[in-house]
Amino acid sequence: MATSSEEMNKTVSWRRFEDGDQEWGSFTDQIFQEDTSYKCPTYVHKTPPCQGSCPSGEDIRGWLAIMRGMETGPEGVEYTEYAFRRSTDANPFPSMMGRVCPAPCQDGCNRNDLEDFVGINAVEQFIGDTALENNYSFAAGESTGKKVAIVGGGPAGMSAAYQLRRKGHAVVVFEALEELGGMMRYGIPNYRIPRDKLAGENQRIVDMGEVEVRTGVRVGKDITVEQLEKDYDAVLWAIGCWTGRGVPIDGWNDAPNCLSGVEYLQAFNEGRMKVTAKRLICIGGGDTSIDVVSVGRRIGHNAAAGNPEDVILDTSAVQDQALADAADPLDATLTSLFTKDKMFAAQHEIHDALHEGVDILDGVMPLEVILGDDGRATGLKVCDCTMDGMKPVPTEGTERIIEADLIVAAIGQGGDMAGLEDLANERNLIDSDKHYQVPSKPGHFVAGDIVRPHLLTTAIGQGSIAADSIDDYLQDGVVDAIRRPKVDVHFFDLEDKLLEAGLSPEHFDASNVEDLEATDTGNLAIHNYEDRSFAEIVGSDELFLGHFGYEARLLREEDVPSADDVLGHFHERMMNLSEENAQAESKRCMSCGMCFECDNCVIFCPMDAVYRVKKDSSTTGRYVATDYTRCIGCHICADVCPTGYIKMGLGE
């Protein structure tokens, strides 16, 4: 009898060898002599794919190891604070990213080849929320006397501000809107990003000192670029993309009630739009389009509010709360060129929108905006389509009209470069080189959506790299000399870990004959360890997946209202894991590319050549060692290493 798909999803599917894979490779034939070889184990650190997939470059494996209790910090530091320190080495917004990041790290997780990815976002939210509850703070570096202007207080700008303060540089943040946060504040609704937690994570950066924030100031209008160049040692442009792309169909540019998702969400997030149209259509398929229709279902409509575009386009207009108190449910429709399984929005966001009563028309392309006698849009003509790559192909005979009072486009964003025209390229963005310098403008740097609209976590990562470049520029005026690694992320550093644990190698003295003998018992170097994390990502084919059993992912609870209950429902959607569940979920991490102290190599070594390092000399990455006078090169230790940390490399 065939095994049901439900049962298969509860069973580990890994196999060490596939059918027909019984022959040794040619290289193996060359190095083996019966059951021995001249190769012996060495310990090789590689980057896990979760980290390699993270645009902000977090040491995900590292803070999961801390959460699970495998790696311990300095005496007196709680594990939650230690995990927070490791997490925020790359990203100062764990509470925010744990909620809204689409998590490419989880897509890359090697555990997907076993049963299901590790809930990285869920654990990150726990770390971030715990840090806010316990008032963990950031420390600034020793002052350098340099001051940097950061234009834009969103994820890229504040990430750079944080990293620059760690390096000792003072910063002044110029933000055109009234509050910090950028798209996290004005582009994502409050039930996905709690405003108190966003404010807390921004304030923690400001509290580092020498971080001046000037809100309501638009560079290019209220202050000139020339003045910034005069007053500051460097300038970072992190202004984001605040204009939406229109839909290239007849009638779009003629109708006042055809607007962008950016305008729509900003009006809601500023508290100005409290109700909207009775019949709302959003053209998109990504997370922004989901936010548009989900907001619409929550605020509803009220005929007394007049035309919805009036409050959206007039930034001085604010609807009365009484309109919201008397609101009725509205009809929300989302159209997507792609089918639901291929939409760019996160699958759980699509599921939630459907549960909340949104009508998703997938595999549908817009053809024309239907205009009424007053020039406003009354409907959207669409048809079914198939996709040829990124090009929609219409299906003849499927044309129909969907009635609408407001049509919103969430198909991309662009820059608002008014007053900064000299910086704009042909796409109305700002050019960047690989170090996030603005070409031909020394002292000017750029990060975030204004380089290329992408994820919040991408902006955070770019802000971090830009801060490195600015630091280099402030030191010697040259940035091009920086050689960034092939795998450009924040790494676990064994030397730093040994220093933290008081186990650093002793000083090497070339004048000392005994030091020059360089025996394997000397403590002058990290023996038999190679760091390839800057160059290689470890794949699941390098792991012994047979070590791991089936463990279901621990899901966060979600407060997703039904279609009948969604009106006026603004409670936070994503609940936090309990401490117990956050620790348990962390233990599902397979620690790819780093020893997690399973003892397999010690237990299975037939020659007792692999042994545990003495406890007073042991730390993360230095748990086992090899007695090479006993090793016969049988490679069993490498075969049974679950994490791919042991390689047969010595002897070549």
State pLDDT tens for residues 428-454: 999 999 999 999 899 999 999 999 999
Tell me what pLDDT residue 3 has. Answer: 41
Does residue 32 carry a pLDDT above 60?
A: no
Nearest to 96 by CA among 131, 129, 55, 50: 129
Identify the domain boundary among 365, 390, 411.
Answer: 411
Indicate whether 140 pLDDT > 70. Answer: yes
The three-state secondary structure class of 616 is: helix
> Identity (one letter) of the amino acid at 607?
M
CA distances from 131 to 124, 325, 399, 429 (A): 11, 36, 53, 36
What's the CA angle centered on 295, arms 294 and 297, to 5 degrees? 65
Contact of 232 with 147, CB cutoff 8 Å = yes
Q: Which of 426, 452, 476 is the last residue of a domain?
A: 476
For tokens 């570096």, what's the residue?
A: 141
Within a domain: 6: no
| Residue 512 pLDDT level (bands cut at 50, 70, 90) | low
Query: Does 22 map to a domain?
Result: no
Q: What is the pLDDT of residue 628?
A: 85
323, 251: one domain: yes
Q: Residue 535 corresponds to which amino acid?
A: A
Select from 489, 556, 596 the least CA-distant residue to 126: 556
Residue 32 lies in a domain: yes
User: Do 426 and 404 share a domain, yes or no?
Assistant: no
Q: Residue 122: inside a domain, yes or no? A: yes
Which has more confidence, 400 or 6? 400
- State yes or no: pLDDT of 342 exceeds 50: yes
Give domain status of residue 14, yes or no: no
595 by Cβ neighbours in 10 Å (0-12 / 13-18 / 19+) ranks as: buried
pLDDT of 632 reads: 87
Q: At what angle do helices 456-476 and 155-166 cross, to 10 degrees?
A: 40
Taking a C-beta distance cutoff of 8 angstroms, is the pair 420, 410 a contact?
no
Whether 312 contacts 267, CB under 8 Å:
yes
| 559: helix, strand or coil | coil
Please state, in angstroms and as integers, the Cα–Cα distance from residue 89 to each residue in 22, 78, 139, 489, following that order: 45, 17, 11, 10
- Domain assignment present for residue 365? The answer is yes
> How many domains does the chain divide into?
3
Buried b (16+ CB within 10 A) or exposed e, 360-397: bebbbbbbbbbbeeeebbbbbbbbbbeeeeeebeeeee
Report the alpha-carbon distance of residue 38 to residue 648 in Å, rounded.
9
Mean pLDDT within 449-472: 96
Q: Are residues 396 and 314 in the same domain?
A: yes
Say if residues 261 and 409 touch (Cβ distance below 8 Å). Answer: yes
Q: Where residue 1 falls among pLDDT bands split at 50, 70, 90?
A: very low
Using pLDDT thresholds of 50, 70 and 90, give the confidence band for residue 526: confident
Percent over 90 (pLDDT), the chain: 81
What's the average model confidence in pLDDT over 591-595?
95
- Bigger pLDDT: 40 vs 352: 352
Could you list the residue range(s) of the whole structural domain that residue 114 is in?
28-133+492-650
Domain shared by 72 and 213, yes or no:
no
Q: Name residue 646's beta-bridge partners.
A: 43
- CATH number at 250 reads 3.50.50.60
**pTM for the full predicted model:** 0.92
Same domain, 181 and 96: no
**d(Cα 157, Cα 173) in Å, to the nearest integer?**
8
Q: What is the pLDDT of residue 8?
A: 45
The answer to whether residues 614 and 635 belong to one domain is yes
Instruction: Give, as one character, the DSSP assignment of residue 277.
Output: -
Same domain assignment for residues 505 and 644:
yes
Owner of token pair 């794919």: 49
**SS3 assignment, position 370:** strand
| CA nearest to 128, candidates 574, 640, 548, 600 | 574
Q: Are residues 266 and 372 in the same domain?
A: yes
Find the distance separating the first CA and the last CA of the chain, reported in whole Å: 51
Quick one: 393 and 508 in the same domain?
A: no
Residues 430 and 523 in one domain: no
Question: What is the rounded CA–CA span in Å between residue 538 and residue 403?
Answer: 52
Q: What is the pLDDT of residues 76-118, one digit of tens each?
A: 999 999 999 999 999 999 999 999 999 999 999 999 999 999 9
- Residues 237-255 pLDDT 10s: 999 999 999 999 999 999 9
Q: Do 278 and 402 sit in the same domain of this protein? A: yes
542 lies in the same domain as 407: no
In a domain, 16, yes or no: no
* Residue 15, domain member (yes or no): no
Q: What is the mean pLDDT of residues 261-267?
A: 97
User: What's the confidence (pLDDT) of residue 592?
Assistant: 96
Q: Is the model's pLDDT at 16 over the cut of 70? A: no
Residue finishing a domain among 411, 441, 463: 411
Instruction: Read off the pLDDT of each residue in 207-235 and give the average, rounded to a whole number.
Output: 97
Q: Indicate the pLDDT class of residue 236, thresholds 50, 70 and 90.
A: very high
Mean pLDDT of 409-426: 95
357 vs 485, more confident: 357
Give the count of alpha carbons within 13 A of 532, CB side only.
Answer: 20
What is the chain's mean pLDDT, rounded?
92
Tokens of 79: 């594990």
Q: Give me Rg for the CA atoms of the chain.
A: 28
